[in-house]
Structure 1
Amino acid sequence: MCIQGDQMKFHGYDSLLTLCIDRKAIREGQRVHAHMIKSRYLPPAYLGTRLIVLYTKCNSLKDARQVLDGMPERSVVSWTAMISAYAQRGYHTQAWVLFNQMLKSGTPPNEFTFASVLTCGFEKGVQVHSLIIKTNYESQIFVGSSLIDMYAKAGRIHDARGVFERLPERDVVSCTAIISGYAQLSLDEEALEMFRQLLREGMDPNYVTYASVLTALSGLAALDHGRQIHNRVLRSELPHYAVLNNSLIDMYSKCGSLTYSRTIFDGMTERTVSTWNAMLVGYSKHGLGSEVIELFQMMREEGKVRPDSITLMAVLSGCSHGALVDEGLAIYEDMMGGQDGFKPELEHYGCVVDLLGRAGQVDKAFEFIKQMPYEPTAAILGSLLGACRTHNNLLIGELVAHRLFEIEPHNAGNYVILSNLYASAGRWEDMRNLRELMKGKAVTKEPGRSWVKLDQTVHTFHAEDKMRPSRCCWYLDLIIHLVGQPRNVESLGLCIHFVDDKTSIKSVYTFSLALFLYIGLTGTKLGCGEGGCGACTVMVSYYDQLHNSSVHYAVNACLAPLYSVEGMHVITVEGVGNHRSGLHPVQESLARSHGSQCGYCTPGFVMSMYALLRSSRSAPREEQIEECLAGNLCRCTGYRPIVDAFRVFAKTDDAVYANRSSGSSPDGEFICPST
């Protein structure tokens, strides 16, 4: 850059500074500034503000502040430029101090000043809101959107909605702010409805709108809606913003479509650390530990983006869910050595505890907690307690549970886990004492809920649900008359004991407990006891005289009363495969794909898929497979290997679904097809 002469005045300096700002050319900008000083040219407020913008854009806040302090006259734009720079970079205290200086100087704020300072903290932001009302700026779209964002981030969504409703005119920015607020607070249905309202009013969503609504759809796991939004994004021909692509990656991975996530990831020309994190978290949550390690190594080798704290949490979690203990510990040691530029934080220590606990190394996990430089949180101790339950370690489980009772005395889940440990060990007196402790502390367990999607409508239900008359088959009063008292009530250690007495009595007579108590079949697991996890899935069959065919379908045994399956044929996991012919192809495919994880949920997954195959005349589609497994939960989050196992099996083994479901036999002579 050549500075032409000593007599250059306003327009020349303005043109040069504009070029420097556009190109972030701080060296050349400093030369222009030096020329002003050398020529004793006293810049007006406008050029002073341009210098502030140049320095802040080039991350030289110290130089920008010196320019502001040296200005004899400062406009509201000058103050706002500096306040905004502080706020955007997280220097909230400096932004507040400067805002107060501005008020004391007698310069009235404008809408951009208010919008900047509202990002600097909720408590003082509420005070600023009062000033905004006094100065009649609340109706300004820019200020209103900032208020909505501030209240939403503080969890005050009703206040945010109040600001939104008071806006005289709403644009896409204000609508996006409320959608984002709902999504941040996991109010996903409300976010989706607000997005629909935005479309009905004829507004064109921007990339932030799409990113926010995709976050909501991730929480709902609404893949169909997510695909529709993706199509809208493609049709709108928006630039390839990284934040939007990151939201698409996250949405597809949370909806179980990792192939789409990886396609978007591979197609991105520029990836931020959030991009890598979204893909790593997706692999991690689906139990694909090997893919997590491979992608992390790719990130390190590419070297364009440095891992952050979230990256390492995703990698350690992926190793935990993928049972890659040695690899996870090696990455932890690299962190301790500072290879990635920072030391482990509390969350990383928690991931290591989970890694060891899931692998059955409960003793090592307990010792690791003792040596941590941090005080363990309830989440870390809860992870260890869950591992104690899975691997039946009562000694450590009891110690951890009592520590959790001190930290979070009203969390019923901790009491339930310790109760199950006591039940497994036959310590009934301790179990009863624990129940009395819960009563004394007024601790109650909120019933778990299940979701089912039917005709684009999501229905929820739970055990003992009496909201609809059609659910009367779940009421178990008739069972007492049908079967009387069980022979061994104390063997209900598999149950969740901490419910009210009335519910406890009714739960005794569910189908799952009858299998265990009266028939002695223990392969069908009782997980949540409320129909939420699918571990208790079995297949029931009956002969349909009207259509002259056998009907097979899966049921949650923990929700089904005995009388609901009267006269039907039942196949549990013990009836799938046999010693003579070995594993059933469903079981064999699951084993080959390493989909069993800890194994607790495996019987339920096997029976769900088995029932689908027995009711199908041809290979089921991928949508049918995912729908039939939708009611099964994997504690180890190994969904992808499980779904992949059944998908591959369904495509390659057509012999399993011949025309078995169409076979007929008269009533009373029902022949259960061979397994």
Structure 2
Amino acid sequence: MYAKAGRIHEARGVFEGLPERDVVSCTAIISGYAQLGLDEEALELFRRLQREGMSSNYVTYTSVLTALSGLAALDHGRQVHNHVLRSELPFYVVLQNSLIDMYSKCGKLTYARRIFDNMSERTVISWNAMLVGYSKHGMGREVVELFILMSEENKLKPNRVTFLAVLSGCSHGGMEDRALEIFYAMVKGKHGVEPEIEHYGCIVDLLGRAGQVEKAFEFIKQMPFEPTASIWGSLLGACRVHSNVPIGELVGRRLLEIEPENAGNYVTLSNLYASAGRWEDVRNIRVLMKEKSVVKEPGKSWIELDQTLHTFHASDRSHPRKEEAFAEVRKLSVKFQESGYVPDLSCVLHDVDNEQKEKMLLGHSEKLALAFGLINTPEGSPIRVIKNLRICVDCHNFAKFVSKVYRREVSLRDKNRFHHIVGGSCSCGDYW
């Protein structure tokens, strides 16, 4: 009850005060943490309770896998999968769905698809989990193929989540025409699912991502729904990426009115002004943030090594080996520039000289995590990094050089999608 009300501290207090614990109480508290997005806490508690002799059932493992999906902790995920196999638990559909989700979010789509293909029974959630996995990796063609396969089986009807996954997959995969075809078929009632506000949001994202900002703006005006802050935010992000200041300014001001507490809106509008060299407007936005006590979410990246998560924040010194990572990034930057890497100074949205911009780029959290992974993993082994925000173009280029020069497979997961880089080429096709 406390956990579902979001009061996890009270839930933990009750749990710690229990005279004895069983699998139900242990699962309830782990599930509470996982469902609130407190993934590290859920994993830490699961490991502690295991050491204390806790027994687990399929619900326990499902909850833990939810947390591991959020952390993209592949080594831990494999370990849990092995626990499930050794425990000889019945492979309930809900557990298999969680494994599909975990492997997809850890960048291992082949593992996810293997579980999916071997399922004796699939629910619509199973199909959706696999579709979302492909979608997050920008694999639009695979999304559409799987959707067609689902339609041909005729056993299960796609639901609203199915279409969100399909439209999003087409958006990330640069398949605008196919997405619009599917969307307008929904509008005409051909698929049996009436488009909701989220589906319209996918089309706005699709058009904006393709650089059709004006068309996206007109689409919003004609929607049968009042646009949400999320939809306006998607368009503002597209204006930032494609440097459309006139529309971005209109959208940004609208967002500040309806969502004055959301730091992301201020930051995106500020970045739009900065990319246009309007530094006075940038300063005004920062003053406004201070007046309203709005704090920007700090960028952070993490990497899992030997079942330990190492977290790096941009330009701070919290990690005990951060100086070592900084030194490695500087060394790599020099080496990569000899191979053709050119720092993208447009990614630094501060009114400083170019030399200072280059220094600031070196402190980006994903570069630090990449460098740390390069130092601490065997030659030729893959490097997997997760970031809480959208990866910048410069860090994406830097990762491609890590892959090319050191012949490493690099997996980068940001808040929107996956970038799988092999031999200096990314699965996103430099479209995200």
Q: Say yes or no: TM over 0.5.
A: yes
Matched, 1:169 2:2: no
1:161-209 C-alpha deviation (Å, 9 max, x unpaired) = 1222232221111111111111101112222233223333434311111
Greater shift, 393-402 or 185-194, is seen at: 185-194
For the residue of structure 1 that corresponds to 2:310, the secondary structure is strand
In the other structure, the counterpart of 2:404 is 610
1:211-230 C-alpha deviation (Å, 9 max, x unpaired) = 11111111111111111111
CA–CA separation in structure 1 for the residues paired with 2:266 and 2:93: 44
Aligned pair in 2 of structure 1 residues 371, 535: CA closer, same or farther (>3 Å)? farther
Cα offset for 1:294?
0.4
In the other structure, the counterpart of 2:340 is none
Match of 2:356 among 491, 509, 519: 509
CA–CA separation in structure 1 for the residues paired with 2:269 and 2:307: 39
Partners of 1:289 and 1:323 within 8 A in 2: yes
Cα offset for 1:326?
0.7
CA–CA separation in structure 2 for the residues paired with 1:316 and 1:280: 10
Greater shift, 337-346 or 447-456, is seen at: 447-456
Partners of 1:512 and 1:536 within 8 A in 2: no
Aligned pair in 2 of structure 1 residues 637, 273: CA closer, same or farther (>3 Å)? same
What is the TM-score normalised by the length of structure 1? 0.53
Match of 2:364 among 526, 531, 538: 531
Runs of 4+ more than 4 Å apart: 468-475, 491-494, 504-508, 533-538, 597-602, 632-636, 643-648
For 1:127-276, list aligned pairs within 5 A: 150-276=1-127
CA–CA separation in structure 1 for the residues paired with 2:353 and 2:15: 48
Question: Percent identity of the aligned residues?
Answer: 63
Match of 2:243 among 367, 392, 417: 392
**RMSD of equivalent CA atoms:** 3.3
Cα offset for 1:458?
1.9
For 1:481-500, list aligned pairs within 5 A: 494-497=347-350
Cα offset for 1:295?
0.4
Cα offset for 1:159?
1.8
Cα offset for 1:471?
4.7
In the other structure, the counterpart of 2:215 is 364
Matched, 1:637 2:431: no
Partners of 1:382 and 1:414 within 8 A in 2: yes
Cα offset for 1:393?
0.8
Partners of 1:535 and 1:603 within 8 A in 2: no
In the other structure, the counterpart of 1:443 is 294
1:600-619 C-alpha deviation (Å, 9 max, x unpaired) = 76522322213314xxxxxx
CA–CA separation in structure 2 for the residues paired with 1:202 and 1:439: 50
Partners of 1:601 and 1:635 within 8 A in 2: no
Cα offset for 1:430?
2.7
CA–CA separation in structure 2 for the residues paired with 1:330 and 1:420: 34
Q: What is the letter of the counterpart of residue 214 of structure 1?
A: L
For the residue of structure 1 that corresponds to 2:304, the secondary structure is strand
For the residue of structure 2 that corresponds to 1:509, the secondary structure is helix
Partners of 1:249 and 1:264 within 8 A in 2: yes
In the other structure, the counterpart of 2:374 is none
In the other structure, the counterpart of 1:299 is 150
1:295-319 C-alpha deviation (Å, 9 max, x unpaired) = 0111111011111111111111101
Partners of 2:243 and 2:272 within 8 A in 1: yes
Greater shift, 234-243 or 299-308, is seen at: 234-243
Cα offset for 1:492?
7.8
CA–CA separation in structure 2 for the residues paired with 1:227 and 1:506: 47
Q: What is the letter of the counterpart of residue 8 of structure 2?
A: I
- Any stretches of 5+ residues in structure 1 without a counterpart? 1-149, 476-490, 498-503, 514-525, 539-553, 555-596, 614-623, 649-675
Matched, 1:422 2:255: no
CA–CA separation in structure 1 for the residues paired with 2:416 and 2:297: 23
Partners of 1:447 and 1:530 within 8 A in 2: no
For the residue of structure 2 that corresponds to 1:438, the secondary structure is helix
Partners of 2:314 and 2:365 within 8 A in 1: no
Partners of 1:535 and 1:602 within 8 A in 2: no
1:509-531 C-alpha deviation (Å, 9 max, x unpaired) = 36446xxxxxxxxxxxx5xx851
Cα offset for 1:636?
6.7
CA–CA separation in structure 2 for the residues paired with 1:356 and 1:457: 40
For 1:455-466, list aligned pairs within 5 A: 455-466=306-317
Cα offset for 1:157?
0.9
In the other structure, the counterpart of 2:161 is 310
Partners of 2:62 and 2:98 within 8 A in 1: yes
Partners of 2:348 and 2:357 within 8 A in 1: no
In our comparison, the structure showing a higher alpha carbon Rg is 1
For the residue of structure 1 that corresponds to 2:156, the secondary structure is coil
Partners of 2:403 and 2:422 within 8 A in 1: no
Partners of 2:23 and 2:54 within 8 A in 1: yes
1:521-561 C-alpha deviation (Å, 9 max, x unpaired) = xxxxx5xx8513449999xxxxxxxxxxxxxxx9xxxxxxx
Aligned pair in 2 of structure 1 residues 202, 633: CA closer, same or farther (>3 Å)? closer
CA–CA separation in structure 2 for the residues paired with 1:473 and 1:283: 36
Cα offset for 1:506?
11
CA–CA separation in structure 2 for the residues paired with 1:374 and 1:425: 32
Cα offset for 1:472?
6.0
CA–CA separation in structure 2 for the residues paired with 1:327 and 1:226: 34
CA–CA separation in structure 2 for the residues paired with 1:191 and 1:537: 26
Q: What is the letter of the counterpart of residue 604 of structure 1?
A: F
CA–CA separation in structure 2 for the residues paired with 1:645 and 1:269: 39
Q: What is the letter of the counterpart of residue 330 of structure 1?
A: E
For the residue of structure 1 that corresponds to 2:37, the secondary structure is coil
Aligned pair in 2 of structure 1 residues 633, 511: CA closer, same or farther (>3 Å)? farther
Partners of 1:253 and 1:261 within 8 A in 2: yes
Partners of 2:33 and 2:42 within 8 A in 1: yes
CA–CA separation in structure 1 for the residues paired with 2:8 and 2:415: 32
Q: What is the letter of the counterpart of residue 532 of structure 1?
A: S
Aligned pair in 2 of structure 1 residues 177, 436: CA closer, same or farther (>3 Å)? closer
Partners of 2:23 and 2:55 within 8 A in 1: yes
What is the TM-score normalised by the length of structure 2? 0.81
Partners of 1:536 and 1:604 within 8 A in 2: no
For 1:74-113, list aligned pairs within 5 A: none
Match of 2:234 among 383, 387, 391: 383
Aligned pair in 2 of structure 1 residues 611, 415: CA closer, same or farther (>3 Å)? same
Cα offset for 1:425?
2.5
**Bigger RCO (CA 8 Å, 6+ sep):** 2
In the other structure, the counterpart of 2:129 is 278
CA–CA separation in structure 2 for the residues paired with 1:247 and 1:451: 22
Aligned pair in 2 of structure 1 residues 633, 506: CA closer, same or farther (>3 Å)? farther
CA–CA separation in structure 2 for the residues paired with 1:167 and 1:636: 40
Aligned pair in 2 of structure 1 residues 344, 600: CA closer, same or farther (>3 Å)? farther
Partners of 1:329 and 1:352 within 8 A in 2: yes
